[in-house]
Chain A
Amino acid sequence: MTAAFTADAARALGGPEWLVRRRLAAVERLTQAAWPTPSEEIWRYSRIDQLDLDRYRPFAAEELGAPGDERAPGGGPWAAEAGKHAGMIVVRDGRVVHHELDPGLEAKGVRACGIATCEDDLVSTLVGRASSASEDAFTVLHDAFLAGGAFVHVPAGVVVEDPILVLHWCEGDGRASFPHTLVSLGEGAQATVLDRFGSPQTDHLVDAVTELLVDDNAHLRYLTVQEHGTRTWHLGLLRAHVGRDATLRTSAVALGGDYARLRSEALLTGQGAESDQLAVYFGDGEQMLDFRTLQDHDAPNTRSDLLFKGAVEDKARSVYSGLVHLRPAAKKANASQTNRNLVLTEGASAESIPNLEIEANDVRCSHASTVGPIDDEQLYYLESRGIPPEEAERLIVLGFFDDVFERLPVGALTRGLRRSVVDKLEHARARR
């Protein structure tokens, strides 16, 4: 590994003893971790060979401040944009700097707090429960420098109506940060969580992990929004475990970053579990947006659906590589996987690779994938109504994304996210 990511640096980050031990164990593993290369299938088409880890170092403990020292007063404009919410955790450079929660929910045992500062012993048993099964060099690096991060817990039977916000801001040239979001829903619980990431125009490495643990009969709706500055690298793992008769809907909106990768994985562990994965992505300039998805069925009568829609402009590139895995236990499972891409300019490109691995009998499985420019006939139709081509294109692109936008949780954000897509389209067009 590199000189900056040392055991001393990991130890100095402080926090509870279990977390320090966990970090040091990861530092050990880091020395053995194989560094990824694009020759591995899972990194194919990626820009991983352009990542120079020596450019970055982790934050020092004194830069982040003591785990319990919460300096930020609130969530700023992001909190306002999300509308009415039940709770909020603000995370800067991977460490919680503010948390708040509706007192009525607090009294029912709901938690929205820092992983490193939560008084509940529960958290130490939950961190890594989902992500450890999907380890790669970046999750090990993440574990080695995990300073804290957000913990959301909804106990069995409790329903949280309004969203809980987790707002991550990462800043600083040549720095790496390790945001973590851990969401745990007890049996029959219900919640909506927003996990929003951003950074300014800094050369920053974000190595993020989100874990969603959805117990039997629980229902979780989750939206992650990635709006990094265009020099930031983001490597994220989103991994969920979904229990018996539980439902999970994850959605991702990816707009920012220089190279931004999200592994989005749902493991259906209990009979009747369901997961929906949605994404909207829009790349312009020299961006690369990279998605690797997994719909992993390990129980009977499980259902999963995936709809990822993206557009690329300028010289931007996107990758979608997804696997539906129906394990032997997944009898009568039903899985579908759809990836659609608009390539808006000649210099841009999109890869789309859907895969199936079926080990169970009596299952239903479908997949679809498209990559192409805007349909000329659609343009002609709208132009025949007197709509100029630029406006027709704007309508078609927004219309293309509409069925995903319509299904996003945290409806207060949808309008602004559509606006962000239009802004990117218009900026890209101004450069044409």
Chain B
Amino acid sequence: MEIKVVKHILEANEVIASQNRKLFEEKGIYVANLMGSPGAGKTTLLEKTIEKLKETKSIAVIEGDIETSRDAERIAAHAIPTVQINTGGACHLDGNMVRGGLEGFDLDQIDLLIVENVGNLVCPAEFEIGENDKAMIISVTEGDDKPEKYPLMFQVSSVLLLNKIDLLPYLDFDMERFQGEAFKVNPRLKIMNISCKTGEGLDNWFRWIEERTSKKGS
């Protein structure tokens, strides 16, 4: 016999993500889900962001990786609360993994939680974790044709950080093409050109994330 079930296949995840979101709202925590390919510069951007904002905001980080705690060790060296989630093969973080990770924090003490997702341009875009914004980082060495090849991630992101622009003189990266494609896929996307190495453009990003984060007790 036939059973009618009209259900979102990832409904269980969406439910947990919205529970996370409610908890973050209650605790007054702004949450950014940082996504991008392996090697795009996610962890380096995080380190720069922590150094810039840690005096004024109370920051915590969840590091998602398939294996190893290398990134968490890099972040923890900046003396902020860090939780490593090893997905053990899974290509993305989901709501449940993040919920488990939250047990490692005192949420009453956090203003800003940045979740560094598993390095991947596809899968993390599909799984809500309860974040306020998805931020993606891509580097110029990955090529100017990515927005149309990986449209979903560009579409769900609020902000796009184009990293390693100090390398542009050595590459055939067509900036006009890249930005044109990105805007076609997501006209509301905020694009920032940055170099984590030289620091160029990072102030825009710091301001963007600072504006969205409220300080506890202020």
Q: Is B a genuine binding partner of A?
A: no
Which B residues have a C-beta under 8 Å from some C-beta of A? none
